[in-house]
Chain A
Amino acid sequence: MKKLFIYSALSLSLASCSMDVVNPNITENSFVGTSQSSEIWLAGMKKQLANTLNQAVVFAEIVSDNYYNNSSLTNKVFDGPVLLYSDVDIDNTQRAIARLREMGTYGIERIVPADKGATATAKAEMLFIKAYAHILSGELFVALPMAANTEAVSPAVHFNEAIKLINEAITTQTDATLKNGYQLALLRCYYNLGNRTEALRIANSIIQSSSLMVRNAVFDGLNGASNLQQSYTFSNSTNVLAPLPRLDFLDPKYYHVGNVNTDQKPLAILKSEEAFLVAAEAYLGNNQLEQARTTLKALINDVIAKRPTAMVDAKLQLRKGIRADYPVASATRVQADAQSAAQSKLVLGRLEGNVKVNTVSGTSVTIAELDKAETVDQLLYLLSLIRQQVFMSEGRRMTDLGIRFPVSQIEKLNNKKIDDAFTKAVLPAYIPTGIAMDDFTYDKANNLVVIKHDMNKVLVANKTAPNVFPMLK
């Protein structure tokens, strides 16, 4: 019996020494340098791009006048807009963009050099996606670090870094289509920097060569990367986001038929429409009214009119959320503000059958309206409206309104290099608060909606303000 106890004691002691456990995880060391590692990493970056857009696009749309969060899901104060540095969604957005950028750095510096089979295409794509992270940094935030735990720098520094990366991507890339797309990213950087000459040069080049180009970010509902803007505007049963009634006809841009997980629509991160818009704005900046008009007409006739549309069953888009008085009848007429004339066809009859939606771009602005514009401001107003409508559901409007997120509190607490000034959002004085940008009255008996503020009118009135219409400066 004593022997048994000795055996027991021994076996227990032996077992005690063994800390071996089955580790199911993949570590850096086991992955870097493996076959196909750069392709796999690039796919991971594209997934992260989808996840980053799920923060950046949804929140920017809520902040702007495009959408009102009509539910208890997602951010409930950005509509205000209340943009506090302590808001976790600001941190989420900043972190998602930083992750995309850091994945780019890691891919370019560690994965590609170690992968013998790495292609030029993959490396160029990594450069481009990293550049896109810098573009988002510059467009959405007052300032952000360029790398982990560094000081926050101005948007201009981010745009210049993006230009550097894109140029390297253009040099590296061997795929002509992808290379063309990079031009649009370059255009966006020069636009944001207010470099009219370069912007106009690139814009015209795109207008000449690739007027129907679209660079999409894709989503994957089966792998935890659903298109959140699609979910919030269409797929979710609570109809989370409600569009401003004058933009109702542009919603939804993304929708599913049948299985939601396998039908996740892509989101355009770059498209040729932008070249026309930038060129027109640059012409207005040069006081070339007619060139601007011609460019905008070409945009409507040659681009938007050629973009695909779809018939969507939108009967479940009842828009009955916290605010239950959204119009859903086609007879509704909308005034852009109390002074404007009522306009029809902006609200779709969702209960009356399938509705026609634009899956890339749409606009309510007509050639006749463009022809009627007599002054720079009148044309600028129409340009601003087309720009809002073309980029609907793509997360661009907040930037166009001149609003910027602050650096997050968590960044500030962990990173002593952050200047206090950057912890305050940029919320220009012309931006109405108290959810007024999304507000309207609805006289149901007369089918008339009157929107409280026409933000395009407000922008034109404040066209000299910083961060607004960079091509006019």
Chain B
Amino acid sequence: MKKKMAKKICLLLVVLSPVSIFAQTKISGKIIEANSKKSIQGVTVSVVGNTAHTISNINGEFIITLANNVDVKQQLLKFTSVGYESKEQSLKDIDVSKLFIVELREDLVKLDEVVVTGQGLSVSKRRLSTNVTTISAEQIKGLPVNRIDQLLQSQVPNAQIKMAGGQAGGGSIIQTRGFNSAFANSTPIIYVDGVRVDNLNTAATLGMSLSGGTAQGTATSSLADIPVENIEKIEFINGGAATTLYGSDAANGVLQIFTKKSGSGKANIGVQADMGLEKGTGDFFYFKRTKELLFRDAFTQRYSVTADGGNSDFGFSAAASYAANNGYIIHDNNKSDKFDFRAGFHAKISNKVTYESSITYGRQTLTRNRNGNSGGYSALWFLENGASKVIGGGFNYKLDSASTEEYARIRSFVDSAEMLQNNASLVNRFQTSQVIKYQALKNLLFKATAGIDYRAQTEQSIVTNAFNRLIKSASTGSISKFDRNYWGITLELTGQHEAKVGDFSFLTTAGTQLFKNTDRQVAYSGQDLLDGGLTVGLGATRNANEYYAEIVSSGVYLQENIGYKNRYFLDLGIRGDNNSAFGSTIGTQWYPKVGVSYILSSEPFFQNWDQNILTTVKFRANYGVAGNFPPPFVNETTLTPGGFDGKQAIGFGQSGNTDIKPEKSYSKEIGFDFGLFRNRVLLTATYFNNQTKDALFIVPPASSTGQDSYYRNIGVIENKGFEFAVMASVIETKDFDLKIRASANTVDNLVVSSGGAASFNLSGMSTRTIQTVVKEGYPVGYISGYYGYFNADGTYKSSDPQAFLGSTISKLTGSFGLNIRYKRLSFFANADYQQGGYFANWNKQFRFNYGASTEGVPAAEVAKNGTLNWLNFSQLFVDKSDFLKIRTMGINYTFDKANLGNAFKRLSVGISAVNPFNFTASDADPEAIMPGGAQGQGSATTGGVAYAQFSAPRQFIATIKVNF
């Protein structure tokens, strides 16, 4: 295997070598917006039938060069940019010796926008039967956040992204079209420039266990350190037919990030500084004093430099940033430091061959305090859940009514407990993508992609003797370290052929993809550590553990998109996958799709109608299959060795399932896209019905076998619902623009069958307390606990065990946004909402247990039984998870040459706020929940259990950006 890899790398190096120089004709132009006449940056200008392309610069200017041996007058230039109608311009009547002006119109309908769907190569949205959400650099550039999932919050109409807890670098829960899987985390797979990257959004198998068991606590998410610098655009497709060609792990959707690889003309340099205040969100605390005990005002800062330039022969774009935040939790316990660097370039090797490359390096350090049920002391459990009654010798746990002396004691204890913590995470990440495009014929393009993602994470948790003495633990000092090294390689070869026969057009895409990733984790710890010791070697005794997983997946795919009269389209595709995780009896897995797209508005009869109201009409329907492959090695029956009492020992390991195969999500959808009022309003509606068959459930066999739970393809999960999105350009004048967008998505989720297996939990504690559970006839991850009945006098009467207490999946989710521009002043706001779901407020239940509050419990019951029945009426602690949250808002003013003269090309200043307003149905934050799944690394969770987690903090940031 290693030899093969070496050969491939050599081959790539050969391909990447010398660039030839050709005689050239230069064409210069400028691209402006048709209405406001403002210049448009980032428009891709390409020569049709050729791989040559360039990008417009900050002033909308571009230079493209043509080889001398081509007839310039015969050439066709194509202008494409996310959010604008694409345009083809013949050079026949253009005087190429002068600057020519190209006007592009803003386009909400985006029918002819080119996207990279399926695999590797591009296709116009017109031909697609599925929805693709494209987010431009313009759309995200003003957002003052620097992690990819947070950046996409409220930007993708049919995806809901929730930051689970407010600690730096923590996990998120991403939901699109409900929850397809009860074993795989719902985070979509992520590609950067065609290369799959690590998307682990839960704790690792061997990871820092600061909260509620390793798997469910706040962990360092690998989404938190994907650099967000230098992004050209982002595409998101949800599962089903849209992701069929991605194969065995695309059922949760695919997120593709494309980075910039070119500027235009001589170097354009931009410098940006963001500085501001970060404040912990204390709105949801039960005790007013919690905030003053734990929070402080933090300073957040970020500096970035970008540089790009080039022409159609060679272009580059690079960015570097440094961000630092000293953290809103006292004693630097939520500090972060992030350095990102990304560089991309493209080079024309010959008239037919282009080479593109991007290289990314990121380094992130974080600190974190103990959270959730870390055992001993954790800030919110101690203060908010009443555990101060039992920890550290006991305190007055009714914080707000504590006397001055009592409060001073608590304050001193918390201050010491926070000061004595030393938990940190360090990530170094390197990514690269190398792409060769070969235009074999005018209508035949090949693309070869190779790239890697390497992510090395080290976590460290030190528990000192001083900390143990403080919390009155008899334990000695210890240090635990956890290394996780992820390495993934993607190799892909795709060809695309375009043909026209009469009214028919054929777009054929075929390719093969290989990816391999390894995940090596090492946990090592030292015990009996003297205070001040920072390495494992200093422990009197040392211990180590290792986890290793490796996956190889190969796939072939073929897609045929047939068009008739440029308005009827039939989309057919199939992918075949082999994967090392499949059982020995499972052969190649096939994923087919079929879809139709009909552009009614391209019918001649339609063109004759008045199009002022209804301008564009597209209908689409499709059927497709996508999968989630099982984890590595679960097909094998193993024995687990280890040590015991100074000897080698071995016992039963996992019960292998030789029939294990991917679960498959069969998706049907039908929808329409309407462009109204000359496409100033886009209305999109889709009905979807996804059924996951052979769903992988991790269920226990009979207890009498003595074996642990194992994977079986036994479930059926259904998700159906509607998706609506509207975008409107309400006002479009030279000086004043007003754009709004809103979306509403419904989902009806049901576990249709569990194959007769017992219910199992995705999150939470034990069956007797609160869990989120998978059970036939109920939605995935519903809240299960005891439902209590009360006598007429309000005292407890009886209860039903493991009752349905509410679904954690909101029936309705969506987002909306607003952009206003008056001359050079712009304002934006983005918000998310959800309605119709529930979450278990375990904080409240704990508070009741410890006697810190009796909220929600009948007074008669409290008087009679005290807290004895705290677990018998858990429904009293289940709250509605409805919310409306403003994620980001800001105001920005741009100066250009008219104001600045020649000193700068552009200068903009702005102020923005992150998470400024939260409106929730509950007193608690439905997003401050345990982010991981109980089944371990990468396992499914719907969230739904609020347990001693912080809410995402607020930030108020001032920005200045200068372009030279």
Contacts and interface: CB of A to CB of B under 8 A. Distances in A.
B649 A222 contact: no
Interface stretch (B44-52, B172-180, B549-557, B590-598): B549-557
B472 A26 contact: no
A84 B633 CA distance: 35
A256 B387 CA distance: 25
A421 to B, nearest CB: 17
B766 A259 contact: no
Given A318-B472, A320-B389, A12 B644 contact: no
B639 interface: yes
A429 interface: no
A396 B350 CA distance: 83
Contacts of A22: 518, 548, 550
Report which residue of B15, B352, B552, B645 has the largest number of chain A beta carbons within 10 angstroms of its beta carbon. Answer: B645
A408 B578 CA distance: 39
A90 to B, nearest CB: 9
B706 A258 contact: no
B802 A86 contact: yes
Contacts of B550: 21-23
A312 to B, nearest CB: 10
Interface string A258-298: 11111000000000000000000000000000000000000
Contacts of A71: 390
B644 A27 contact: no
Q: Among B394, B448, B651, which residue has the most Cβ atoms of chain A within 10 A?
A: B651
Best-buried of A218, A236, A237, A435 by chain B (most CB within 10 Å): A237
A77 B488 CA distance: 47
A458 interface: no
B139 interface: no
A150 interface: yes
B704 A145 contact: yes
A176 interface: no
A377 interface: no
A24 B649 contact: no
B846 A72 contact: yes
Contacts of B758: 409-410, 413-414
B638 A27 contact: yes
Interface stretch (B1-9, B94-102, B889-897): B1-9
Given A45-B651, A224-B642, A16 B768 contact: no
A102 B475 CA distance: 35
Interface stretch (B157-165, B421-429, B695-703, B953-961): B695-703
B641 to A, nearest CB: 6
B468 interface: yes
Interface in B160-202: none
Contact of B871 (A76, A91, A238, A409): A76
Interface string A20-51: 11111111100100001001110111111010
Contacts of B636: 23, 25, 27
B446 to A, nearest CB: 6
B914 interface: no
B376, B636, B701, B704 — most chain A CB neighbours (10 Å): B704
A261 B438 contact: no
Interface stretch (A92-100, A183-191, A194-202): A92-100
A222 B647 CA distance: 12
Contact of B476 (A4, A12, A260): A260
A7 B450 CA distance: 14
Contacts of A260: 474-476, 527
Interface string B519-542: 000000001100000000000110
B11 A46 contact: no
A4 B554 CA distance: 21
Interface in B87-112: none
Given A235-B475, A256-B474, A148 B645 contact: no
Given A1-B352, A26-B641, A220-B643, A16 B394 contact: no
Given A220-B644, A237-B473, A316-B472, A91 B700 contact: yes
B868 interface: yes
Interface in A54-92: 71-73, 75-77, 82, 84, 86-89, 91
A145 B766 CA distance: 25
Contacts of A236: 375, 473
Nearest to B700: A410
B36 interface: no
A406 B32 CA distance: 77
Given A223-B643, A238-B376, A86 B767 contact: yes
A368 interface: no
A20 B2 CA distance: 11
Interface residues of A, number: 99
B554 A43 contact: no
B718 to A, nearest CB: 22
Most buried by B among A8, A45, A256, A408: A8
Contact of A47 (B472, B649, B850): B649
A342 interface: no
Contact of B766 (A75, A234, A320, A413): A75
Interface in A294-321: 316, 318, 320-321
A220 B645 CA distance: 6
A15 B648 CA distance: 38
Contact of B474 (A21, A41, A234): A234
A255 to B, nearest CB: 8
B849 interface: yes
A222 B646 CA distance: 10
B531 to A, nearest CB: 15
A73 B391 CA distance: 13
A17 B540 CA distance: 49
A14 interface: yes
A413 B704 CA distance: 12
B653 interface: yes
A322 B852 CA distance: 11
B609 interface: no
Interface in B648-666: 648-653
Which of B390, B550, B707, B871 has the largest count of A CB atoms less than 10 A from its CB?
B390
B651 A149 contact: no
Contact of A237 (B376, B639, B651, B653): B376
Given A87-B767, A262-B541, A26 B650 contact: yes
A88 B766 contact: yes
A117 interface: no
A284 B701 CA distance: 45
Given A21-B632, A224-B642, A16 B514 contact: yes
A99 B11 contact: no
B543 interface: yes
A16 B554 contact: yes
A28 B578 contact: no
B706 A75 contact: no
A355 B704 CA distance: 43
Contact of A101 (B472, B493, B556, B706): B706
A237 B463 CA distance: 13
A353 interface: no
B637 interface: yes
Contacts of B468: 237
Contacts of A43: 644-645, 647-650
B722 to A, nearest CB: 36
Given A8-B448, A45-B651, A259-B527, 17 more contacts: A11-B8, A21-B632, A23-B633, A23-B636, A40-B648, A43-B647, A50-B644, A86-B801, A87-B767, A96-B706, A145-B704, A148-B704, A149-B705, A237-B474, A238-B375, A413-B758, A414-B700
The 10 A-B pairs with the shortest beta carbon distances in the complex, nearest first, are: A237-B473, A99-B706, A16-B554, A43-B649, A98-B706, A414-B702, A44-B651, A47-B644, A145-B704, A102-B706
22 contacts: A5-B493, A9-B512, A18-B1, A21-B632, A25-B653, A26-B641, A44-B641, A86-B767, A87-B768, A88-B768, A95-B706, A149-B702, A224-B642, A234-B474, A238-B391, A259-B540, A321-B390, A324-B389, A411-B702, A414-B758, A415-B702, A415-B704
